Structure 1
Amino acid sequence: MARLAKSTYVEHPWRIQEFTSDFEVEDVWAFRTPGAGPGDFPTMLAAMRAFGGVARQAGPVRFLFAVRWKLGALLGWDKPTAGVGARVTSLRSRLPNDLRDADRGPDDDSMPLKAVYEIATESARELANNTVHTVMHLGWVQGADGDHELRMTVLVKPNGRFGRLYMAAIAPFRHLIVYPALTRQWERAWRDRHSLMAHRPEGTVDEHR
C-alpha cells in the first residue's frame, strides 16, 4: 500500500470527476496487485467481496467501528433522516445516462456504503450521515511497475463545521489503523483470489447486477 498525493486522482480522467466537483479529495491510496492486467478489476472486486468486510478485520479495527456505531446511535448521527435519500440526494441522480444504465454492483442492507455505479475500471459507493456525505471510489490503473493496481479515493462533503472537525478528529485512526488493516485484507484477497473464488459459498453475489 502507498498513500498517494491527491493530485494523482485529479490527473487521471475518472468518470466520477464528471459529477463530484463539489466534493473534496480526502485520501488517495494504492494497493499492490502483482501480476494484474487491465481486465482484472472485476476479479479484484469479487475477491474483496469473497474475503469479507469489517467482520474479517483485526480486533482494533472492529473495536473502532463498534465504538463509532455506538456513538452514532447515542448522538443520532446515523438516523435515517441523515442518510442518502433524506439529508442528501444520492449521486445516482447525477449520473450521465450511460452510467445510470450500467450495472451498480452488489448492494444489500449489510453494506453501509451503497452502490452508485460499477464499470470495467471503476466502482463508486456512497454513505451519508449527520457528519459527512462520503464516496469511496475504487479505480483500476497501470502502476509504475507495469502491473495494474487498485486505487481508492475517498471523496467527502462535510456537513458544516462539525463535519470538518469530525473528519479531522478521525484522520489519525484512518491513517494509522483502519487503512493499514484494509490494505492487508485487500492485498491478501488479491493473492488468494483463486482459492477464495473456489471456496465461495454457493449463491454468493459477486457478479454485476
Structure 2
Amino acid sequence: MSRLAETAHTEQPWHIHELAPDFTVEDVWSFRTPGAGPDDFPTMLAAMQAAGGPAKQPWLVRALFAARWKLGALFGWDKPSAGVGERVVSLRDRLPGDLRDGRRGPDHDGMPLKAVYELDREAARELANKTVHTVMHLGWVQGANGDYELRMAVLVKPNGRFGRLYMAAIAPFRHLIVYPSLTRQWEQAWRDRDHTQAAGR
C-alpha cells in the first residue's frame, strides 16, 4: 500500500466525480494485487468481503473502533436521525437512471458503510453521522508495472466546524494504525482469492 496524491483519484474518469462534487478528497491509497487483470475487480471485491470487515481486524484496530462507537453512543453521534436518509440525502438519490437500476452491491450488518453503486471497475459506499458524511470509493486502475491494482479514495463532507476538528483528530489513527492494518487484510485477501473461491463452490 502507498498513499497517493489527490490527483491519482481526481484524474480518473470515475462516476463519483459527478455524484459528489461537494465532497473533499481526504485520502487516496493504492493496494497491491499482483497479477491482476482489467476484469478482476469483482474478484477483488468478493475476496475483500470474504476476508471480513472490522471484526476480523487486529485487536488494536478493533479497540479503536469500539472506543469510537462508545463515544458515539455517549454523545449521540450515530443516532439514526444523523445518518443517511435523515440528516443527509443518500448519494443514491443523485444517481442517474442507468446507475440507479444497476448493481448496488451487498450491505452487511458488520459494515457501517452502505452500498451506493457497484460497476465493473469502481464502487462506492457511504456513511453519515453527526460528524461527517463520508464516501469510500474503490477503483480498479492499471499500475506502473502493468498489473491492475485497487485504489481507495475517502471523500468527506464534514458537518461544520466540529466535523472538521473530528476529521483532523482521527487522521493520525487512520494513517498509522487503521489503513496499514486494512492494507494487510485486503492484500492478503487478494493472495487468498483462489482458496476463498474454491471454498465457496
Question: Contact 1:33–1:149 at 8 Å: present in 2 too?
Answer: yes
Question: What's the offset of the Cα at 1:8?
Answer: 1.1
Q: How far off is 1:179 after superposition?
A: 0.1
Structure 1 position 57 matched with structure 2 position 57: yes
Is the contact made by 2:54 and 2:110 (CA closer than 8 Å) also made in structure 1?
no
Match of 1:206 in 2: none
Question: Per-residue deviation at 1:84?
Answer: 0.2
- Provide the C-alpha distance between the structure 2 equivalents of 1:107 and 1:64, rounded to a whole number of angstroms: 22
User: Could you say which residue in structure 1 is the equivalent of 2:11?
Assistant: 11
Aligned to 1:207: none
Q: Report the CA distance between 1:199 and its aligned residue.
A: 2.3
- Residue of structure 2 in register with 1:25 after alignment: 25
- For 1:99 and 1:88, the matched residues in 2 are separated by 20
Over the residues paired in the alignment, what is the CA RMSD in angstroms? 0.9
Secondary structure class of the residue paired with 2:125: strand
What is the match of residue 129 of structure 1?
129
- SS of the aligned residue for 1:186 comes to helix
Q: How does 1:65-84 map to 2 (within 5 A)?
A: 65-84=65-84
Partner SS state of residue 199, structure 1? helix
Equivalent pair of 2:77/2:131 in contact (CA under 8 Å): yes
* Aligned counterparts of 2:123 and 2:59: Cα–Cα separation in 1: 28
SS of 1:150's partner is strand
Matched, 1:174 2:163: no
Offset from partner CA, 1:48-91 (integer Å, 9 cap, x none)? 00111111111110000000000000000000000000000000
The offset of 1:19, in angstroms, is 1.5
Unmatched runs of 5 consecutive residues or more in structure 2: none
Residue 97 of structure 1, CA deviation: 1.4
- The amino acid across from 1:194 in the alignment is D
Residue 192 (1) aligns with residue 188 (2): no
Displacement, 1:196?
A: 1.4
How many equivalent pairs are there? 201
SS in structure 1 at match of 2:141: strand
Q: Which residue in the other structure is 1:161 paired with?
A: 161
Could you tell me which residue of structure 1 aligns to residue 105 of structure 2?
105
Cα distance between partner residues in 2 of 1:36 and 1:164: 37
Contact 1:50/1:197, CA 8 A, preserved across alignment: no
Is 1:55–1:62's contact at 8 Å kept on the other side of the alignment?
yes
User: Is the counterpart of residue 145 in structure 1 residue 159 in structure 2?
Assistant: no
In 2, distance between residues paired with 1:44 and 1:81? 34
- Distance in 1 (CA, whole Å) between partners of 2:109 and 2:183 is 24
Worse overlay, 152-161 or 95-104: 95-104
Off by >2 Å, runs of 4+ in structure 1: 108-111
